[in-house]
Structure 1
Amino acid sequence: MDKKRAIPEGYMTVGELAGKMGTTVRTLQYYDREGLLSPSSESEGGRRLYTYKDMIRLHQIQALKSLGFSLGDIKNRLISLDTPEEVAEALTGQAQSIREKIWQLSETLEAVEALKAEVVQMQEVDFKKYADIVVNLQLHNEYYWLIKHFDDDMLDHIRERFDQESGMDFMERFQDVCSRALVFQSQKLSPEDEQVQSLAAEFWGMVMEFTGGDMSMLPKLMEFGSLTTQQAAVNEYLQPALELYFRKCGSDPFQEVQP
């Protein structure tokens, strides 16, 4: 009883929070060490205490994690939740991420159903593309839906340049660049800002890494850049920064590949 009275009203222990949110004490301790979710207080006996606001923040983390975001991405996306406006902003971002995931899964479902129809009708099946979809589904790769938009030349290029491990590593690094771009956008940093220019250079470096310097692939990549709302927002934000970066470099590769 004394132990229970030591917990002030409106607070809960790490075990209680873990139980309410379907997670483990070890996970909450890990989030604390990583700076994602720290206890709001401590009892007289030294027990770490959480509030309902902490519970909502944990829900944010769990929701973003279920959508495939890394802990680094989640840390950049978390909002302080100190005002109703900030809570609304957090929910808006979460809703948009869910819509993106629904769209991606719908695209994958459509591709699988199309392949199934071909098999049932005994038509010719593109087993090469089918195999790509199966492998990525097994990996729970959130980018597998892109495969249906790639032509054979693009798929062959990807197979030659990347294996499963290097491909996933590239996409994780690219997602990290995009996440930082969205953070800079929310902070209203200008294209001239040193951080934005550094990010533009990193973004272009990844484009070069993907294409292997083959500028003929740029038009296709520009098409893929508009497939999701998030990527379209990243591209729109970085475009002025890239134009400034290219001017400093003395060339515009996008202009050079225009017909």
Structure 2
Amino acid sequence: METEKAIPTGYMTVGEVAQKMGVTVRTLQYYDREGLLTPSAISEGGRRLYTDRDLIQLHQILSLKHLGFSLGDIKNRLIPLDTPEAVAKVLDEQATALREKLEDLTEALRELTALRTEVMQMKTVDFKKYADIIVNLQMKNDFYWLIKHFDEPMLDHIRSQFDQRSGTDFLQTFLTLQDRAIALGRSGVAPDSAEGTAFAQAYWDMILTFTGGDLSMLPQLVELGQAEGMDPQWRETQTQANAFIGPALDAYFSQNGIAPFPEEGEP
């Protein structure tokens, strides 16, 4: 009873703070030793005494710790909470950190959900493909689902031919040319015109970049474009683009004496 009388009004003991904030007394003692949360006062009997202001600072510490900050980072982020502006600044920083954490978690959930869908559609366990899908999801490649249609030799070729940056650049080139083909077709540009030929040359160069000049891969690429189970929107876009790409390439090959597909019987 005498000990309690020695505690001034407005102060709390370490046990009271621990109970109120859902932490252990040992944690509060550790924060004191590390200079993270020093009690506002010490009682005559040597007990740590805390105020409501200390609770706010403890809440700040616990919030930052929950967000994954190390105790060293937290110590560097703590600032005096003497004004409304200072408190608001800390809360703004916590809100920003929380938003970033939420964005990361949301993206991770999106990737896991997408991978699960692909796993179920593939029907077989293939961790190399799973890894490729995850990499493409992280690249923000909306066509990650195409991977399940590639066989292992094709995937090995892609892995050896492209890294993350060159793969992203190639995909952007492909999408740009695809949109260009649709636009040229809608504008009524003749596939064998100068504009059509220029497009066909750019498209053929893109194919050579993808294959590394190995034209034996072309039949497989054609089959891939016709594979079952393709996304309907993807298939529709490809149909629109190919309506111009096919004739433009044919005209380009004819004009330049290029035979991309070997005649039957040729090696």
Structure 2 length-normalised TM: 0.50
Q: Which residue of 1 aligns with 2:260?
A: 253
Q: Does 1:182 align with 2:182?
A: yes
Contact conserved, 1:225 with 1:232, CA < 8 A, in 2? no
Counting only pairs closer than 5 Å after superposition, residues 28-39 of structure 1 correspond to structure 2 as: none
Closer, same or farther in 2 for the Cα pair 1:149/1:245, shift >3 Å? Answer: same
2: distance between equivalents of 1:113 and 1:207?
A: 31
Larger radius of gyration: 2
Q: CA RMSD in A?
A: 2.4
1: distance between equivalents of 2:115 and 2:134?
A: 10
Q: Does 1:231 align with 2:238?
A: yes
Q: CA deviation at 1:248?
A: 1.1
Counting only pairs closer than 5 Å after superposition, residues 202-241 of structure 1 correspond to structure 2 as: 202-226=202-226, 227=230, 228-241=235-248
1:197 is aligned with what amino acid?
A: T
1:204 is aligned with what amino acid?
A: W
Q: Which residue of 2 aligns with 1:141?
A: 141
Q: CA deviation at 1:241?
A: 1.4
Q: Secondary structure at the match of 1:190?
A: coil
Counting only pairs closer than 5 Å after superposition, residues 64-79 of structure 1 correspond to structure 2 as: none
Q: CA deviation at 1:134?
A: 1.5
Number of aligned residue pairs: 147
After superposing on structure 2, the runs of 4+ consecutive aligned residues of structure 1 that deviate more than 2 Å are 106-110, 112-115, 224-227, 254-259
Contact conserved, 1:132 with 1:147, CA < 8 A, in 2? yes
> What runs of 5+ residues in structure 1 fail to find an aligned partner?
1-105, 119-124
Q: Secondary structure at the match of 1:142?
A: coil
1: distance between equivalents of 2:192 and 2:219?
A: 26
Contact conserved, 2:184 with 2:244, CA < 8 A, in 1? no
Q: Which residue of 2 aligns with 1:99?
A: none
Q: Deviations over 1:162-188 (max 9, x none)?
A: 011100100101110111111101101
Q: CA deviation at 1:251?
A: 2.5
Q: Which residue of 2 aligns with 1:8?
A: none
Q: Does 1:201 align with 2:227?
A: no
Closer, same or farther in 2 for the Cα pair 1:107/1:195, shift >3 Å? Answer: farther
1:159 is aligned with what amino acid?
A: R
Q: Which residue of 1 aligns with 2:127?
A: 127
Q: Secondary structure at the match of 1:253?
A: coil
Q: Which residue of 2 aligns with 1:170?
A: 170
> What runs of 5+ residues in structure 2 fail to find an aligned partner?
1-112
Contact conserved, 1:133 with 1:144, CA < 8 A, in 2? yes
2: distance between equivalents of 1:205 and 1:256?
A: 22
1: distance between equivalents of 2:137 and 2:198?
A: 34
Q: Secondary structure at the match of 2:261?
A: helix
Q: Which residue of 2 aligns with 1:242?
A: 249
**Percent identity of the aligned residues?**
45
Contact conserved, 2:192 with 2:252, CA < 8 A, in 1? no
1: distance between equivalents of 2:200 and 2:128?
A: 35
2:158 is aligned with what amino acid?
A: I
1: distance between equivalents of 2:260 and 2:169?
A: 26
1: distance between equivalents of 2:248 and 2:178?
A: 14
Structure 1 length-normalised TM: 0.52
1: distance between equivalents of 2:140 and 2:255?
A: 40
Q: Which residue of 2 aligns with 1:94?
A: none
Q: Deviations over 1:114-140 (max 9, x none)?
A: 57x76xxxxxx3211111111222222
Q: CA deviation at 1:214?
A: 0.7
